[in-house]
Structure 1
Amino acid sequence: MKRPFRIAVTGAAGSISNSLLFRLAAGEVFGPDQPLILQLIERPEAMEALRGMAMELEDCAFPLLHNVRLHDNIQDGFSNVHFAFLVGAKPRGPGMERADLLSANAEIFSAQGRALNDYANPDVKVLVVGNPANTNALIASRNAPDLSPSQFTAMSRLDHNRAKGMIANRFGCNASDIRKVAIWGNHSATQYPDLHHATAMGEPVWPELDPKWVDEEYIPRVQKRGAEIIAARGQSSAASAAQGAIDHMRDWYFGTPDDDFVSMCVVSDGSYGVTKGIVFSFPVRCRYGRHEIVQGLPIDEAARKRIETTEKELIDEKAGVEHLLPAETEAAHLNLRTTLRSGASRYGEEDTLDDSEASVLRTDRVL
């Protein structure tokens, strides 16, 4: 049997995690033969709810679930983890401006970046889900000087999946028949869902589309889908966000299909003229645990304007948290390497003798 991967999830008692954790434990991300140790992190006041979540995980009797650990601090929660899902974030409250939201979350993610740097596996892969995801990922990455910026990503896969689902519905085909949709920019209402390179059942979709419908209906609906869901059901996306996180991490780990690319928010290396050092959604391909921005896609003038609009928003967000971005990590973000560190998984001390209160589910299987 394989050695278990350690998976950290913040905001683990929340609604997104309620969908994410059970599917992680079922093998939907890392495969049906990969054991897992879940290291679940919550605020102290949410620990009892998290304990209830752990009870349900135990009651599912997942064969792959080797250990569940509950933590109210990020230092223990990130200890030796191979993968981190940063789901928890401070939500926007009544009267709160976007700048206030950025400031509140900046403190959280700067601390998480430092803890990942100091306690996580040296090859940890980090996915930021909590909003504003792009800038939160930048803050975490800039506060992790010993980790590569390529180890930090943010999620635009939810937007990517929304874009695929809507265009599949338009063409009357399955979403799996849609290829090469791209999301550019910020996970916000300025993002640019791009269909110029997309295919349906192997045929280009652009010649079959009315540009007016794309500009006035399709793009705005993808951009504002989150608000549409809140208006319809009274709460924000949860199951679809969990699906986006699952798809993102699975493709990062296993690789993307040869005839397709996906959308991931990664640190910009200047591709397509996007400012270096911001976390920006690009079309990417993944191989061997590494991601690479797809090069050479033609960008017309209208698309360029949309990309510049969402780029400006991210530059402004970065300026608003500049005081939390250590100067010593700037060079690494402006001069990116094309690969991660080693791609290997390193294993810390096992928990077989751990009788601490944090360990709520433990097995003694031979590994």
Structure 2
Amino acid sequence: MVSPVTVMITGAAGQIGYALAPQVCRGAMLGPDTPIILHLLDIAPAETALKGVAMELVDAAYPLVKKIVATVNLEEACKGVDVAVMVGGFPRGPGMERKDVMAKNVAIYKGQASALQEHASPDVKVVVVANPANTNALILSNYAPKIPKENVTCLTRLDHNRALGQVSERTGVPVSDVKNCIIWGNHSSTQYPDVNHATAGGKSVRELVNDDEYLNGEFVTTVQQRGAAIIAARKFSSALSAASSVCDHVRDWVHGTPEGTWTSMGVISPGGDAGYGVEAGLMYSFPVTCAGGKWSIVQGLAIDDRSRSLMDATAAELKEEKTMAEELIAAM
């Protein structure tokens, strides 16, 4: 018998949480044979909606689900958690400055860090989804020092999957045969979607597309701006694809990436050559492979001058965010 895995979703009454919880319960995250104990957390004003989500999950009668805990109590939600999906955060509203949003999220993630460290499993795996995802993850990691640094990540798999999808549409190759696109840097409009090492149907994407102007221009901006384009089309954020990519992120982390294939994850940079020259301590998206429940940055990839410039630009934004967060914490 496989022991149940306790999964926590914060912001569970929101759009992403509502899309994510059923996928977790069906085994999309941890596999069809892994039983689940599901912890759903949201803020007090969303308590009634949260109860409604829990009611629907009960009504769906998922065989893998052994227990559902729906709560507005952070400590209760974090108790015994093996996988923490941090969807909840303070969104940017009309007229809000970037610093205002950062200040709200610094406080939220500092508090959640303490609760996870105190109540979660010692080897809890954390993926931060709420924006600014990289910096929220960095704050959480810094204020939960008992949780191994490598166990705190942020979601750039959504951007990675978007890149795979764009290559598939451009080439006509099924997305299952598109491999090794890379998202470097921040989960923001400065991210660098890189196809220099990618293949489609076993062939180089650069050679197959044979259009550097497209790959260096429209492709990059399409991936960078895809979230905004979906909001413009749907009038809502990309909840479905975000939820699916969270499952992909955790599944590959826990069960491993296929041989010869890598994914993109926001992880703590080790600095130096191992971190492709990215300053140590930044939460930066790299190409990684996963095995045995651990990730490793893919090493030895050739980086051309154009790529170096784009990688440095997104690192500079992350450094600015990190400095801002540190200043806000110091002022608390």
Instruction: Tell me the TM-score normalised to structure 2 length.
Output: 0.96
CA contact (8 A) 1:106 1:139 kept: yes
Secondary structure of the corresponding residue to residue 267 of structure 2? strand
Distance 1:288 1:175 in 2: 26
Secondary structure of the corresponding residue to residue 308 of structure 2? helix
Q: Specify the alignment match of 2:233 in structure 1.
A: 232
Aligned partner of 2:254: which letter?
Y
CA shift at 1:215, angstroms? Answer: 2.0
Distance 1:259 1:310 in 2: 27
CA contact (8 A) 1:27 1:34 kept: yes
Gaps of 5+ in 1: 327-367
Q: Which has the higher helix share?
A: 2
**Which is further off, 204-213 or 238-247?**
204-213
Q: Specify the alignment match of 2:199 in structure 1.
A: 199
**Which is further off, 98-107 or 54-63?**
98-107
Q: Specify the alignment match of 1:332 in structure 2.
A: none
Q: Could you give the per-residue CA deviations for residues 40-85 of structure 1, whole angstroms, max 9, x where no partner exists?
A: 1011111111111111111111111000001112111101100000
Q: Specify the alignment match of 1:247 in structure 2.
A: 248
Q: Specify the alignment match of 1:114 in structure 2.
A: 114
Aligned partner of 2:160: which letter?
H
Secondary structure of the corresponding residue to residue 273 of structure 1? coil
Distance 1:218 1:193 in 2: 8
Q: Specify the alignment match of 1:53 in structure 2.
A: 53
Q: Specify the alignment match of 2:75 in structure 1.
A: 75
Count, aligned residues: 326
1:318 to 296, 312, 322: 322
Distance 2:308 2:100 in 1: 29
Q: Could you give the per-residue CA deviations for residues 209-236 of structure 1, whole angstroms, max 9, x where no partner exists?
A: 3111122211011101111111111111
Distance 1:263 1:324 in 2: 29
Secondary structure of the corresponding residue to residue 258 of structure 2? coil
Instruction: Tell me the TM-score normalised to structure 1 length.
Output: 0.87
Higher normalized contact order (CA 8 Å, seq sep 6+, divided by chain length): 1
CA contact (8 A) 2:23 2:244 kept: no
1:301 aligned onto 2:302: no
Mapping for residues 252-263 of structure 1, pairs under 5 Å: 252-263=253-264
Mapping for residues 156-195 of structure 1, pairs under 5 Å: 156-195=156-195
Q: Could you give the per-residue CA deviations for residues 111-148 of structure 1, whole angstroms, max 9, x where no partner exists?
A: 11111111100000000001110000000000001111
1:287 aligned onto 2:288: no
Secondary structure of the corresponding residue to residue 264 of structure 1? strand
Compute the RMSD of aligned alpha carbons: 1.1
Gaps of 5+ in 2: none
1:274 aligned onto 2:275: no
Percent of aligned pairs sharing the same letter: 47
